[in-house]
Amino acid sequence: MPVVISLLNSFTGVAAACGGFLYHNNVMLMGGVLVGSAGTILTIVMCKAMNRSLTNVLIGAVGGNSAVTSSSSKSGGTVREVQATDVAILMKYAQKVIVVPGYGLAVAQAQHVVHELEGLLESEGVEVKYAIHPVAGRMPGHMNVLLAESNVSYDKLLEMEHINPEFATTDVVLVVGANDVVNPAAKTDPASPIYGMPILDVENAKQIVVLKRSMKSGYAGIENELFYNSKCGMLFGDAKASLQKLVNEVKTL
């Protein structure tokens, strides 16, 4: 979806440039060229981040149902559900916490609550960072914009290539509404439609907590192997409500 939006954005730039040429309007022409070129560059960058060609992104799902079925049928292990109290204790006494925001955070409008939780943890001496995947959300830069809206410091928003080496030294990873961008199947399952896509290496952390409404699959329509990891705990519910519970629990500890 972010790739398609970026591509359409580049088309609007091309259309504006054509209009500027037809009407002899240099401002419209230059503006259209800038928008079109920026959209094209962003589209290429995001396709590279997904390790897929633009053609594959646009029509790759055609005839791909068998791949989805073979991947989604592998549900190894069991899901471990956790409570807000347990998660709050884990985070309060951790040294380093990384938050992975996803589309679920945007739907729940939970960016302000997650920033409040960040402030509480930092007051306890916990280092808090955010892991931003290039295609997280439903539009380019979706997570960056949401977190900037809640006044999260920009230097805490780390891109995938910078944050991935840090997961191995992280005590707790809090995944808020993200799914496909943290799915280990992208590295382990050749039959998966997301195989080869660079992901956030959250499975390397000591403890993983995922905030989701249910076990429903993400945009790719496949199960997430991460949810069955022995280090992973699922905190079910609306992202905003769950984060508010964590805020309240941390305050009372």
Q: DSSP states of 42-107 as a string?
A: HHHHHHHHTT--HHHHHHTTTT-HHHHHHHHT---S---B--HHHHHHHHHT-SEEEEEE-HHHHH
Read off the pLDDT of residues 164-208 as tens digits, 9 standing for 90 and up: 999 999 999 999 999 989 999 889 888 888 888 889 999 999 999
The catalytic residue among 180, 189, 201, 238 is 180
pTM of whole model > 0.85?
no
Per-domain boundaries in the chain: 2-63, 84-252
pLDDT value of position 164:
97
Q: How many CA atoms lie within 13 Å of 13's alpha carbon, on the beta-carbon side?
A: 18
Q: Which of 48-52, 56-60, 64-68, 155-159 has the lowest mean pLDDT?
A: 64-68
Residues 51 and 134: their CA atoms lie apart, in Å, by 12
Pick 84-252's CATH classification: 3.30.460.20, 3.40.190.10, 1.10.645.10, 3.40.50.1220.
3.40.50.1220
Concerning whether 201 is annotated as a catalytic residue, the answer is: no
Read off the pLDDT of residues 138-156 as tens digits, 9 standing for 90 and up: 777 889 999 999 999 999 9
Average of per-residue pLDDT values in the chain: 88
Report, as an integer, the average pLDDT of 107-135: 95
